[in-house]
Amino acid sequence: MSVEGFVITEGNTVQEAVSKALRMLQVKKEQTTIEIISEGKQGFLGVGSRLAKVKVSIKEDAKAELELTDILVDLHIRDESLAAQYSPKVTDKMTGVAAVVNGKVVVTDPSDLGSYAILKPGRNMRLIINGQETVEETPVSEGDMIQVELVDEKPVSSLELTVADNKLEALLRLVSQPGATYRLMDQAETNKLLLQIEVAEIIESPPVTVEDVIRFLQEKNVVKGILNAGIQQVLENQNGKEGFPVARGLKPEDGIDAYIRLPFLDDAKEDEEEPLFNHHQMVSVSPGEVVAIKVPKQIGRDGWAVTGEPIPAALPKDCEMCIKSGCEFTGDGEMVVATIAGRPGTANIGNKTFVHVDPVYEVKDVDQTIGNIKFAGDVLVRGSVRDGYKIEADGNIEVFGDVTRAAITAGASVTIHQQALGSIITAGGRAALYSSILPGLKETGEMLNNVRAVAEQLKSVPAFKTSDLRAKGDGPLIQLLLDSKFNVLPQTVSELSETMLGSKQTVHEQVLDCVNLLQKDLCGLGSVNIESVDYLQRLKECVDLVVGLINDSIRKEDCIKVKYVQNCTLQSSGDVIIEGQGCYISTVTAGGEVIVSGNPGVARGVKVVSNGNVTVKELGSDFDTQTSVAVNCNSKVSAGLIHPNVTVKVGGDKFRVDNLYKNFDAYINYEGQLVVDKLLTGEKRQ
């Protein structure tokens, strides 16, 4: 029976729909009220036919009487189709019939030669005829011994436990279903009888107590962090959709990694992503000032699972603080203080952090009173750099005034607060050098591996005699390989060495040592003295180390920042940023981006070669001055305004501007084609 106490059914006729409803409700017609929703229509040859629809409700007084059978009515609805076949039919006196009267099967034999009554067992019962159990339709006669054993439904109470993957929570749900005892339902005489049951008594499910739940949890190994309130909830909300937490573990608190705190960054917190101080701002420390503090790792707190086992907290990582130059450890070794006045900085190699303080050389003006400057640190010019003077610095160079017909070369960045006229300005010498030797170093590393592999292979070729190698070591073989298949290797190493020697940049000791070692061992007759091919592996490891160091070192690119540029040559390993009026009749080479962003932000008569995007407010001029911009194929040239005759080159594709455009963008799309977006200005400027 449906909970509402009524059903809505359909049938070809009203009568059919009603009988269907009565079957579904398991009630007699007089116990119900019937409401006809639709009469139904026969239609013509099935066209336009409509089913009859009725709503059959159980009368209030009948409900109480029927309540008992409610619980298991689902069962009967499922039986409906089967029951339909067995619905009482007009019984023919010629045939045998069977009925259930007061819970007993009563069989009447046919009067004449008609067929015998047929029995079929229904649900929850075993039909035993003359000691033989049957599940099929079976003809029976009066003389047969018919036994019906009813199978009662047992009540069920079960607990469903879900322990979270991290074992920090256990959810419990109580599912309980009452059981029932049955009796055979009385049925009228029919020649084909489906035996059916009705509920005799409902058996409540056994009560579950808090103690039961705790015992159950213990069996399931949930022993720690039991929540009594949760258990109460489970018991009060049986058959709930979801479980309730009945136990909760303790989450571990992970340890905190050790790190190096740099107090000088606290004041100059401009770029938090780059733990290294900002290149464009002069940070300085005085002797005795704290440069770095190691904040020790903090051990976390272990947690535990609901199953009782501990959950260990993640172990914190330690880091090592080392000193390089211009600073020293204080007594306990947890702090670094400056020994000189200068610019503090750090370099990370692996999990080691090297702290250094580079000296800063500060002058008023660079002129005849000072002369040229060459300094292994930063140079700060409070005034200007005058005609014909030179500054070379390993670190940054910052000039607050102008730079006029001078040469400025910095290992790191250059910042000029006023204008640069007729000068040569180079930034990031070391990074530029490192970038140039990096490919060669990587190639060398790979080739070393290959030489080793081929040498091993050769030794196993039958026609290749190795007696000379046994006497003299692997040297002659390596020499031969470097003379033949791998003759590129000594060449590459020589080039590396030449590049390093040719550059005035100071480089890391490890880089210099490595290249010198390669030169000694692989060029000329050096390789003859190598004892074993395994030595090549050691060389390769040395190269790998240096490649890592260089990668670390050139990650932070240096840049040139200047307000106004005229008749200059600018070379930067990183960006070139012109923040004032613009850039006139100059050559700009950049490893990063070129940005001309000031007011009006003009680049006119310039030649720009850049490895990154070029963004200019106004590019070129009306006077047909030669202006060209070249970028690599992954970069973009953008100009707010672009004049005719400017040449734009992106990767290998060239575009010559033929008109005055605004909002100009040129780039290579994903199909490898040059795309030029632009808008005609519609006016010709004079």
The footprint of another protein (CB under 8 A) covers: 454, 457-458, 461-469, 471, 476-477, 479-481, 483-487
Closest distance to another protein from the beta carbon of 464 (Å)? 5
CB of 526 to another protein, least distance (A): 15
The smaller minimum CB distance to another protein, of residues 37 and 523, is found at: 523
CB 472, min distance to another protein, A: 8
CA 161 to chain centre: 32
Q: How many CB atoms lie within 10 A of CB 569?
A: 17
Query: Whose Cβ is closer to another protein: residue 89's or residue 472's?
Result: 472
Beta carbon of residue 519, minimum distance to another protein (angstroms, whole number): 21
Q: Tell me the closest approach of the beta carbon of residue 469 to another protein, in angstroms.
A: 7
How far apart are CB 373 and another protein at their closest, in Å? 51
For the CA atoms of 68, 74, 78, 79, the dihedral, rounded to the nearest 10 degrees, stands at -10
Q: Judge residue 344's burial from the number of C-beta atoms within 10 Å of its C-beta, 0-12 exposed, 13-18 middle, 19 or more buried.
A: buried
Pick 486 or 664: Cβ nearer another protein:
486
Reported as half-sphere exposure (CB side, CA atoms, 13 A), residue 115 has a value of 9
Rounded alpha-carbon distances, angstroms, from residue 249 to 212, 221, 309, 310, 575:
21, 13, 10, 9, 54
- The answer for 131, left when phi > 0, alpha when psi is -120 to 50, beta otherwise, is left
Nearer to another protein, 219 or 456 (CB): 456
Q: How far is the CB of 485 from another protein (least distance, A)?
A: 3
Pick between residue 78 and residue 485 the one whose CB is nearest to another protein: 485
State the minimum distance, in angstroms, from the CB of residue 465 to another protein.
Answer: 4
Q: In this structure, what are the phi and psi dihedrals at residue 391, rounded to the nearest 5 degrees?
A: -125, 130
* Nearer Cβ to another protein (28/465): 465
As beta bridge partners, residue 11 has: 52
Nearest distance from C-beta of residue 541 to another protein, angstroms: 25
**Run of H or E including 489:** helix 488-502
Closer by beta carbon to another protein, 102 or else 484: 484
- Smallest separation, CB 467 to another protein (Å): 7
Q: Is 133 exposed, middle or buried (0-12, 13-18, 19+ CB in 10 A)?
A: exposed
Task: Compute the distance between CA of residue 388 and CA of residue 406 in angstroms, rounded to an integer.
Answer: 5
φ/ψ (deg, to 5) at 221: 70, 20
Whose Cβ is closer to another protein: residue 65's or residue 456's? 456
Axis crossing angle, helix 509-522 with helix 488-502, rounded to the nearest 10: 140
State which residue, 131 or 462, has the beta carbon closest to another protein: 462
* Distance in Å, CB of 287 to another protein, minimum: 60
Which residue reads 């649900």 in tokens? 123
- What strand order describes the sheet that includes 97-101? 104-108, 97-101, 187-190
Q: Which is nearer to another protein, 73 or 480 (CB)?
A: 480
Q: Which residues, at least 6 apart from 45, have a Cβ–Cβ distance to it below 8 Å?
A: none
Q: Which is nearer to another protein, 56 or 533 (CB)?
A: 533
Burial (CB count within 10 angstroms: exposed 0-12, middle 13-18, buried 19+), residue 609: middle
CA angle 601, 594, 600 (to 5 degrees): 0
Q: Which two tokens stand for residue 651?
A: 């990767």
Q: How far is the CB of 529 from another protein (least distance, A)?
A: 14
Of residues 463 and 679, the one with the C-beta less far from another protein: 463
Nearer to another protein, 64 or 461 (CB): 461
Q: Which is nearer to another protein, 328 or 468 (CB)?
A: 468
Could you tell me the smallest distance in angstroms from the CB atom of residue 543 to another protein?
A: 22
| Shortest distance, position 477 Cβ to another protein, whole Å | 4
* Rounded CA separation 111/214 (Å): 67
The closest alpha carbon to 277, from 324, 351, 355, 344, belongs to 344
Q: Are 371 and 388 spatial neighbours (Cβ–Cβ below 8 Å)?
A: no
d(CA 308, CA 163): 13
How far apart (Å, rounded) are the C-alpha atoms in residues 254 and 248?
Answer: 18
| Min CB(481)–another protein separation in Å | 7
Distance of closest approach, residue 468 Cβ to another protein, in angstroms: 4
* Sequence-distant contacts of 144-150: CB under 8 A, at least 24 apart: 144/107, 146/105, 146/107, 146/119, 148/105, 148/121, 148/184, 148/195, 149/125, 150/124, 150/125, 150/181, 150/182, 150/183, 150/184, 150/197
> 259 vs 486, which CB is nearer to another protein?
486
157, 134 in Cβ contact below 8 A? no
Nearer to another protein, 45 or 461 (CB): 461
Q: Minimal distance in Å, beta carbon 461 to another protein?
A: 5
Sheet containing strand 569-572, edge to edge, reads 373-375, 390-393, 407-410, 424-427, 569-572, 587-590, 607-610, 628-631, 647-650, 653-656
Which of 477/546 has CB closer to another protein?
Answer: 477
The Cα–Cα gap between 53 and 143 comes to 46
Measured CA to CA, the distance from residue 224 to residue 295 in angstroms comes to: 36
